[in-house]
Structure 1
Amino acid sequence: MQLFKDIFYLFFPDVCLSCNQQLSKNENTICTICRHDFPLANFTNQIDNPIEKKFYGRVPIESASALFIFHKKGKVQQLIHQLKYKNQQEIGTLIGNWLGEELKSSNRFKNIDYIIPVPLHPKKKKLRGYNQLTKFGVTLAKVLNSEYIDNKLIKTYSSETQTKKGIVARWNNVNEQFKIKNEDYFNNKHILLIDDVITTGATLESCANQLLKSKNIKISLALMAFTE
């Protein structure tokens, strides 16, 4: 069996999903060079970090963090593109483990009850075939000993991509797009709301406002990447 695997690897080697170079046998998903070359945000233990400041006066956030800093045409963009559009869902698991261990070791992300992803509209999920946040969220839940729930916060209608919109247009586009099914379900709970890349924060704000309809709820944020 091992001989067969070695022969298969010889003709069909795994490649790094960031730089496309061949992986060695002890590497997984991304190569060691890329892993050390990614721009890390280092926000997890930083009070009043740039993500938290972004939501001042908008919605109350307990704590927020991201694993990477996002730069256009950079390694992080390439990695997340592979996750979102090329069905390379092992990237979500990789980032979930990486960020999860950071959050687990921090006093700022204790007692997380539920992990909630920013939802996709059912039509978009059917077209893509998956939510790029699922593996990320499931992995975070395992590391943080919490529960992943993806059927309580829903997206009520589809919309155009947010990528090229300004802050006002983004807010108008996402406001009232989301709905919480059972407002009492999250009463007295600490929610970790997750997304891939944060820019203006309009989508997360809209989701948080829905979750805040529950009583005595706390909301923290965990993102794959933060756009400066």
Structure 2
Amino acid sequence: MKLQNSYLADFLSLLFPQLCPACGNDLVAHEKIICTDCLYNLPQTNFHLHADNIVARQFWGKINLETAYALYYFTKGGKVQNLMHHFKYNGMQQIGNLLGNIAGSQLNKNEKFAGVDYIIPVPLHKSRLKERGYNQSACFAHGLAEKLPAVVEENNLVRTKATQTQTHRSRFARFENMQEVFVVNNPERLKDKHVLLVDDIVTTGSTLEACAIPLLNIPGLKLSIATIAYAE
């Protein structure tokens, strides 16, 4: 029976081939979501090994962080961009969970990240969530939580305004666009806790900074940041 099922799976893959969202090549037997070559060769940052990394430095003098991290480097036209496009716009939520697992396995070996209590995804406005059907940052957060001893807190930090796209805006314009966009519904729950704020991509850091401001007003809260990719 197992052999028959294997033949059936091979036959179906010929009719309806599954493609790697990063490189576009066919997935072969036992490969799931992303091909083996991409899993091993996507440009990892290894920022979890260096407290003084590019992402952390972006927030120096702006917000008080414990540590910061991104899993991959994002380059225009590269495989990570392909991956993120399928994740955000083609409904491939499973990509976020997989990348969360990969990132969580790295962060679980880091003392600072291992002490996280709650994982909070950057929220979407309800209109954008309805349009897309899911929050890509939440998918990543749940993948992280499978590898970290932490709880995903989705509905505490909320976005109160639907902002315009940040693409092609300057850093200052991005920051202005995000002012007073986020609020915390239940700050008492996060008091004296270590929170990991997560997003899909960090560029200027304006969105993460805007999220961090109300969180850091909570007494005793410690904040760290993790993203799937870093784009220069």
Question: Paired residue for 2:16, among 1, 12, 17?
Answer: 12
Question: Paired residue for 2:195, among 191, 194, 218?
Answer: 191
Question: Paired residue for 1:30, among 28, 34, 46?
Answer: 34
Separation of aligned partners in 2, 1:58 and 1:112: 21
Answer yes or no: is the 8 Å Cα contact 1:194–1:223 preserved in 2.
Answer: yes
Structure 1, unpaired ranges of 5+: none
Partner secondary structure for residue 222 of structure 1? strand
Question: Paired residue for 2:223, among 203, 219, 223?
Answer: 219
Name the TM-score, length of structure 2 as normaliser: 0.95
Partner secondary structure for residue 196 of structure 1? strand
Q: How many correspondences in the alignment?
A: 228
Deviation at 1:4, TM superposition (A): 3.3
Separation of aligned partners in 2, 1:142 and 1:136: 10
Partner secondary structure for residue 133 of structure 1? helix
* 1:176 paired residue number: 180
* 1:104 paired residue number: 108
State whether structure 2 residue 213 is matched by structure 1 residue 209: yes
Q: Does 21-30 or 171-180 show the bigger shift?
A: 21-30
Structure 2, unpaired ranges of 5+: none
* 1:48 paired residue number: 52
Segments ≥4 residues shifted beyond 4 Å:
none
Separation of aligned partners in 1, 2:214 and 2:72: 27
* 1:114 paired residue number: 118
The amino acid that maps onto 1:167 is R
* 1:84 paired residue number: 88
- Structure 1 segment 110-149 matched on structure 2, within 5 A: 110-149=114-153
The percent of aligned pairs where both chains have the same amino acid is 41
Separation of aligned partners in 1, 2:51 and 2:10: 48
Q: Does 113-122 or 45-54 show the bigger shift?
A: 45-54
Partner secondary structure for residue 87 of structure 2? helix
Name the TM-score, length of structure 1 as normaliser: 0.96
The amino acid that maps onto 1:180 is V
Question: Paired residue for 2:75, among 44, 52, 71?
Answer: 71
* 1:154 paired residue number: 158
Deviation at 1:88, TM superposition (A): 0.6
Whichever structure has more helix as a proportion of its residues is 2
1:169-218 superposed Cα distances (whole Å, 9 cap, x missing partner): 00100010111112212001000000011011111011011111211000
Partner secondary structure for residue 136 of structure 2? coil
1:77-96 superposed Cα distances (whole Å, 9 cap, x missing partner): 11001100001111101110
Answer yes or no: is the 8 Å Cα contact 2:114–2:149 preserved in 1.
Answer: no
1:78-124 superposed Cα distances (whole Å, 9 cap, x missing partner): 10011000011111011101111000011231211100000000001
Deviation at 1:26, TM superposition (A): 1.8
Separation of aligned partners in 1, 2:10 and 2:61: 57
Answer yes or no: is the 8 Å Cα contact 1:52–1:63 preserved in 2.
Answer: yes
Structure 1 vs Structure 2 CA RMSD: 1.2
